[in-house]
Structure 1
Amino acid sequence: MQTLSVMAVLGEVPVEWRHGYDLAKETGLKSGTLYPILIRLADRGLLEARWEDEQPVGRPRRHLYRLTPEGVTAARAALEAASRPARATGNRLLGVEGT
C-alpha cells in the first residue's frame, strides 16, 4: 500500500516533477521508506528522476521525480485494482511486492 500511495500522489499530475520532501509530506512516509520505493519504481522504468536545473540559494539542489508513460498506466491499473472489493494488490501489479 505504501507504493500505491506514492504512485497515487505522482499520478495526480503525471507531467509535474515532484521532489522527495514534497512526496514524503503528502504520503506521510519517512525517507527510509519513500526513497527505496522511488528507486524500485525507477529501476522498473515506471519513474524518471533528475536533479533540479538550478542551484537554489540556501539549500542543495533537489532530486525530482515523475511517472513515465508506463508508470502512469501502471498507477492507473493499480489504483483501479485496489478500489475493487476482490482485488489483486496494487504492489503485485507494479511488481514491487513487500512494500
Structure 2
Amino acid sequence: MRLTIPVVKVLSALLAEPDAPRYGLDLMRLTGLPSGTLYPVLHRLQAAGWLAADWEEIDPVAAGRPARRYYRLTGEGIRAARLALAELRALAPAERPREGGAGPAGAPAW
C-alpha cells in the first residue's frame, strides 16, 4: 500500500478507534478530505484487504435518511496500518510525505 497523505489520514482516523465502524461523512469530518479523495482511498484499502465495508440495515423511510456504508479495519488492516504508520514516523522528517507545512503545535503535517 502506497502511503500518500490521504491514506495516512484515513488510516490514522480508523486506528484512533479500530473497533468503531465509520461511515463516509464521519471519515470526511475526521480527515478533512473531500469525498472525491476519500472514497478512492477507501476502495484501495478494501481491495488490499485492510478494510471491511458493510451496509447498515435500516429502513431508510423510517430513519429519514439513506442507509450508511460502514467501514472498519480488518485484523490484517490494523496490523498493517500500525506497522506502516510506525515505519513512516521512523523516517527522517525530510523523507515523510508533505501536504503543505507543519501541523498545529508540533503535530506531524500528515
Query: 2:86 — aligned with what?
Result: 80
Q: Distance in 2 between matches of 1:70 and 1:89?
A: 24
Deviation at 1:86, TM superposition (A): 3.0
Q: Distance in 2 between matches of 1:23 and 1:8?
A: 10
Contact 1:78/1:89 (<8 A) preserved: no
Match of 1:13 among 17, 21, 25: 17
TM-score calculated relative to the size of structure 2: 0.75
TM-score calculated relative to the size of structure 1: 0.82
RMSD: 1.8
Query: 1:32 — aligned with what?
Result: 36
Which has the higher Rg, Structure 1 or Structure 2?
2
In structure 2, list runs of 5 or more residues that go unmatched.
98-110
In structure 1, list runs of 5 or more residues that go unmatched.
91-99
Alignment size in residue pairs: 90
Higher relative contact order (CA 8 A, sep 6+): 1
